[in-house]
Structure 1
Amino acid sequence: MATTTPFAAEAAAAELPAAAAQKPPKPPKSEPSALVQQAQATVEPLLKNDLDPRLTYHTLAHTEYVVKQAHALADAAKLSAKEAEELLVAAWFHDTGYLDTYDGHEYK
């Protein structure tokens, strides 16, 4: 019977060629759909130019972060293209209500 040391797995892994130890390459990111691109083209200038300057959290940078996280969640959940598109459009528009209404939300 062969004896195994706590380091046997590490030693075996060290013997693997470097290419085998690397993670497989990620597939290239697909271009956003025309609808998602249109949502981005609509929302970016609005948030950049028309957002109340008193808002420090609900900013374009925040929205871009939400879109990035929504994309990651869509991939992880293996959403259909249509579901992912709906999620990303919603992510782009999620804070646009602050363009018209500011009631001290960030201070509550």
Structure 2
Amino acid sequence: MELTRRLPPDSVCNVSAMGKTQLPITTIALAMGLNIRVGMEDNVYYRKGELIQNNAQLVERAVRIARELQLEPATADEVRDLLRLRGRKMGALPPVWVEDEVPVAV
């Protein structure tokens, strides 16, 4: 938590973990009120000996855990807004924000 307190204002921080640590670390992060990211790029097993079929499996599990912790997961649109991805062309880099100035294209 100390690291998150040191982040600049308006920073977006998420926790991700790889392999067998993904489930416990993301669960702890949710319990701490932090954002998480899950996906097959970080983990190919749903549980010991069971391969993940698709990213939806990991997202559904994360949503289920969040709701058990009485948290309401963000929608895809809310995440796009949070990360300032709305209106971007696929593959385009997001603008760089310099304090309260106008965004600078990269």
Question: Which TM-score applies when normalising by structure 2?
Answer: 0.22
Larger radius of gyration: 1
Question: Which TM-score applies when normalising by structure 1?
Answer: 0.22
Higher strand share: 2
